[in-house]
């Protein structure tokens, strides 16, 4: 590329020394994005080129220009950088060992340096122009981007402003509206042109102008970002529009600060909230308050009622309402409910009272009694008198009645929920007595009922937990008191209430429908036990079990009994099943069940036999193994009754039916019944109920 350079070591060393010095001077004057080593190598290259230019006249100009350009490209653009470069390079070249022989050395060096300066200036000029142009384009792009952003922002704002239901306005610091949207105009019932130039202060209710003025003052003073307040605005139609007004300062570089006004229409919200509120507290059909509303009113009334007269709560349940809807249709039912609602309100129209609908066909009335309030009996009579007046609906003429639970003058500190529970329990008791009944709350009975309900509810869990078990009570022959059978009885070892006896277990299970699975379980256990005794004692010890009404009516009873017998291998004759007299001797499914069982060999007994003539007739016509006397008769009867009873029992015995008595506690009872012809007996006198092995031990004696 260039003329050969002196390759001697001295020359090389001299050039490297110059490059090093140049590197040092440039580095400390200007930023060069290279490490010292890299820069030094770079500058050594330039020194080599410059030496070549000095040594070859034809190259001087070109080399000088190239080096000047290279310096600018290295970011050595400052006057300092050029000055020190010219200085160090000129001196270095003039004193360079390898160039001392060059002809007209000084002229050559001047040529090269002059070209270097020219190249430097030219490159600086181009570079500066390039950079300025780049900067101009950057400015333009940034500006354009900003304008685009602004346009998008404006479009977005216009979109929001035009379509939102929130009123939006821009106001000056005096409150004059400079720009408004359609929503604001709608809220204040004016056109936008009417709003233009209007002052916000003229739009607010006169009572709120001072408050608004304070808000504006705060915004003007700065520091506050925004202020939100409920405010009233005046509509053109004279009404007041409730709004939530938000004021935000809009700080501008020019033209003075402004205020952005947001007005959210709270009128609609208020109306809607009122409506929702009403719906959440009222029954939609009758428009009466609902249970929730009633409860809170009751709570209040309990506190505020005159202690001398107190309050009364009537809990009503329409009699046979499901028959009305089922037979005449739901529309008639709905009509009936509305009529009832209106009539109940009429009944208490003169009282401080609230009538509520609790549910399907349940209503409640809260009366805050005064001295002139009629007594409970009168009120109940008025209610049912009023309800029983027939009315026409959909071509039918109907009337109704209600069963009512009454809680009269509860203590002031009663909780409304307990009170309503009590009213509900009372209502249930009343319903137990039939239609159009009423009953007053009785705290003692409430507690009892409540305990029963809770026990019934927990019984299935108790069964799973093994709290229920089956015990056996011996049945003895009265002539020699030898054990002839054993009666299976339920026991519930209740963790809190202690032992719950058989009769109560049965009643609870009957209430909840648990009786069917529980009875099946019990039957199977009894059969297994009977089979076990047969094996262990070497003789038959029949097991006896009393069926509840629900069990006796169970369509599966026959198959359940047959399966238990088949699975355990107990002979049918070793199973004695007792059932309530009215069922055994009736004409319904239970009687059929029991007849089939009796015909297959199972000993069917009549429980609770009262020796009434009707029973006698039936017993004679039914394959009965025995009758068990009604419990109250166990006590030794009075002589006249005793004689009659003895006569009846003789008839029974003659029909081939045994007589049994349970619950015997005294020797006298045992003797009397033995003489009256009873064959078997059970009771504490002989042995209490106990585990199966008690029968075995007793039987072996």
By beta-carbon proximity to other proteins, the closer residue of 21 and 190 is 21
Task: Pick one of 13, 106, 107, 128: the residue that binds other proteins (CB under 8 A).
Answer: 128
**Cβ contacts of residue 390 below 8 Å, gap of 6+?**
397, 398, 399
Residue 75 near other proteins by CB under 8 A: yes
Size of the site for other proteins (CB under 8 A): 34
Q: From the CB of 153, what's the least distance to other proteins, in Å?
A: 11
Please answer whether residues 584 and 622 qualify as being in contact, where contact means their C-beta atoms are separated by less than 8 angstroms: yes
Q: From the CB of 144, what's the least distance to other proteins, in Å?
A: 9
Q: From the CB of 96, what's the least distance to other proteins, in Å?
A: 23
Produce one character per residue of 448-464: b if its CB has 16 or more CB atoms within 10 Å, e if not: ebeeebebbebbbebbe
Residue 165 near other proteins by CB under 8 A: no
Stretch that binds other proteins, among 74-82, 195-203, 340-348, 403-411 (CB under 8 A): 74-82
Residue 23 near other proteins by CB under 8 A: yes
Two tokens, residue 562: 């047959």
**Cα distances (angstroms) measured from residue 50 to each of 10, 47, 91, 101, 314:** 17, 5, 12, 16, 118
Residue keyed to tokens 């069926």: 547
Q: From the CB of 463, what's the least distance to other proteins, in Å?
A: 56
Stretch that binds other proteins, among 26-34, 262-270, 279-287, 618-626 (CB under 8 A): 26-34
Q: Is 140 helix (H, G, I), strand (E, B) or coil?
A: helix
Residue 35 near other proteins by CB under 8 A: yes
Pairing, β 240-250 against β 352-359: unpaired
CA 33: distance to chain centroid?
67
Q: From the CB of 239, what's the least distance to other proteins, in Å?
A: 40
Torsion sign over Cα 93, 96, 99, 100: positive
For residue 53, how many C-alpha atoms fall within 13 Å in the half-sphere facing its CB? 30
Stretch that binds other proteins, among 49-57, 132-140, 321-329, 649-657 (CB under 8 A): 132-140
Stretch that binds other proteins, among 36-44, 363-371, 483-491, 559-567 (CB under 8 A): 36-44
Stretch that binds other proteins, among 8-16, 129-137, 159-167, 650-658 (CB under 8 A): 129-137
- The strand pairing partners of 171, in sequence order, are 177, 259
Residue 85 near other proteins by CB under 8 A: no
**Cα distances (angstroms) measured from residue 662 to each of 381, 585, 614, 680:** 46, 20, 22, 9
Residue 223 near other proteins by CB under 8 A: no
- Residues between 237 and 256 with contacts to other proteins, criterion CB under 8 A: 253-254
Q: From the CB of 236, what's the least distance to other proteins, in Å?
A: 35
By beta-carbon proximity to other proteins, the closer residue of 252 and 535 is 252
* Main-chain dihedrals φ then ψ at residue 493, nearest 5 degrees: -85, 90
Stretch that binds other proteins, among 30-38, 41-49, 337-345, 461-469 (CB under 8 A): 30-38
Residue 559 near other proteins by CB under 8 A: no
* 622-626: Cβ within 8 A, 24+ apart: 622/584, 622/585, 622/591, 622/595, 622/598, 623/595, 623/598, 623/599, 624/584, 624/598, 624/657, 625/576, 625/598, 625/657, 625/658, 626/576, 626/657, 626/658, 626/659, 626/660, 626/679, 626/680
By beta-carbon proximity to other proteins, the closer residue of 139 and 323 is 139
By beta-carbon proximity to other proteins, the closer residue of 33 and 197 is 33
Please answer whether residues 305 and 372 qualify as being in contact, where contact means their C-beta atoms are separated by less than 8 angstroms: no
Give one DSSP letter per residue of 301-332, joined into a string: HHHHS-TTT-EEEEEEEETTHHHHHHHH-HHH
Task: Pick one of 69, 77, 180, 181: the residue that binds other proteins (CB under 8 A).
Answer: 77
- Residues between 140 and 159 with contacts to other proteins, criterion CB under 8 A: 141-143, 145-146, 150
Task: Pick one of 5, 6, 17, 27: the residue that binds other proteins (CB under 8 A).
Answer: 27
By beta-carbon proximity to other proteins, the closer residue of 146 and 160 is 146
Residue 137 near other proteins by CB under 8 A: yes
Task: Pick one of 32, 353, 455, 695: the residue that binds other proteins (CB under 8 A).
Answer: 32
Residue 132 near other proteins by CB under 8 A: yes
Residue 64: Cβ within 10 Å count: 27
Where on the chain is the footprint of other proteins (CB under 8 A)? 23-24, 27-28, 30-37, 39, 75, 77-78, 127-128, 130-132, 134-135, 137-139, 141-143, 145-146, 150, 253-254
């Amino acid at each position: 590329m260039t003329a050969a350079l002196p390759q001697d070591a001295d020359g090389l060393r001299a050039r490297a020394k110059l490059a090093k010095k140049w590197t040092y001077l440039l580095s400390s004057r200007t930023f060069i994005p290279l490490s010292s080593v890299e820069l030094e190598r770079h500058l050594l290259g330039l020194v080599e080129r410059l030496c070549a230019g000095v040594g070859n006249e034809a190259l001087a100009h070109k080399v000088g220009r190239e080096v000047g350009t290279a310096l600018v490209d290295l970011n050595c653009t400052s006057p300092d950088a050029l000055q020190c470069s010219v200085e160090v390079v000129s001196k270095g070249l003039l004193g360079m060992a390898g160039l001392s022989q060059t002809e007209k050395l000084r002229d050559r060096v001047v040529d090269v340096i002059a070209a270097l300066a020219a190249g430097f200036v030219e490159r600086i000029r181009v570079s500066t122009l390039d950079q300025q142009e780049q900067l101009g384009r950057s400015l333009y792009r940034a500006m354009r981007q900003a304008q685009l952003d602004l346009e998008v922002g404006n479009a977005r704002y216009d979109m929001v402003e035009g379509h939102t239901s929130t009123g939006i306005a821009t106001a000056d610091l005096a409150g004059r509206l400079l720009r408004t949207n359609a929503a604001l105009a709608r809220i204040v019932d004016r056109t936008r042109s009417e709003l233009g130039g209007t002052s916000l202060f003229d739009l607010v209710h006169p009572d709120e102008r001072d408050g608004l003025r304070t808000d504006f003052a705060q915004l003007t003073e700065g520091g506050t970002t925004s202020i939100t307040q409920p405010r009233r605005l005046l509509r053109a139609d004279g009404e007041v529009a409730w709004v939530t007004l938000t004021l935000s300062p809009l700080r501008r570089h020019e033209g003075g600060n402004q205020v952005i006004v947001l007005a959210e229409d709270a009128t609609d919200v208020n109306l809607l909230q009122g409506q929702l509120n009403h719906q959440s507290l009222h029954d939609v059909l009758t428009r009466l308050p609902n249970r929730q509303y009633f409860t809170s009113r009751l709570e209040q009334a309990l506190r505020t009622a005159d202690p001398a007269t107190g309050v009364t709560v009537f809990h009503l349940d329409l009699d046979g309402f499901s028959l009305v809807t089922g037979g005449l249709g739901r529309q008639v039912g709905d009509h009936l409910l509305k009529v009832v609602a209106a009539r109940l309100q009429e009944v208490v129209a003169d009282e401080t009272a609230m009538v509520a609908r609790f549910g399907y066909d349940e209503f409640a009335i809260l009366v805050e009694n005064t001295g002139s309030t009629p007594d409970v009996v009168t009120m109940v009579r008025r209610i049912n008198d009023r309800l029983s007046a027939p009315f026409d609906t959909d071509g039918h003429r109907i009337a109704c009645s209600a069963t009512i639970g009454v809680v009269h003058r509860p203590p002031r500190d009663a909780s409304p929920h307990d009170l309503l529970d009590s009213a509900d329990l009372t209502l249930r008791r009343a319903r137990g007595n039939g239609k159009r009944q009423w009953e007053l709350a009785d705290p003692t009975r409430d507690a009892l009922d409540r305990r029963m309900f809770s026990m019934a509810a927990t019984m299935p869990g108790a069964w799973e937990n093994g709290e229920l078990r089956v015990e056996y009570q011996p049945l003895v022959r009265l002539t020699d008191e030898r054990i002839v059978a054993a009666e299976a009885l339920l026991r519930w070892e209740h963790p809190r209430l202690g032992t719950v006896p058989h009769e109560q277990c049965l009643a609870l299970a009957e209430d909840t429908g648990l009786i069917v699975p529980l009875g099946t379980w019990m039957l199977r256990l009894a059969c297994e036990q009977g089979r076990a005794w047969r094996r262990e004692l070497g003789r038959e010890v029949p097991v006896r079990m009393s069926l509840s009404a629900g069990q006796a009516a169970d369509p599966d009873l026959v198959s359940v009994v047959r399966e238990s017998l088949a699975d355990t291998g107990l002979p049918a004759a070793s199973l004695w099943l007792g059932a309530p007299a009215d069922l055994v001797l009736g004409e319904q499914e239970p009687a059929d069940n029991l007849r089939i069982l009796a015909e297959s060999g199972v000993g069917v007994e009549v429980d609770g036999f009262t020796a009434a003539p009707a029973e006698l007739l039936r017993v004679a016509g039914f394959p009965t193994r025995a009758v068990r006397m009604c419990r109250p008769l166990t006590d030794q009867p009075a002589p006249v009754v005793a004689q009659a009873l003895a006569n009846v029992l003789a008839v029974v015995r003659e029909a081939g039916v045994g007589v049994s008595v349970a619950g015997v506690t005294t020797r006298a009872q045992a003797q009397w019944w033995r003489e009256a012809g009873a064959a078997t007996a059970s009771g504490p006198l002989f042995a209490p109920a106990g585990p199966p092995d008690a029968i075995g031990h007793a039987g072996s004696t």
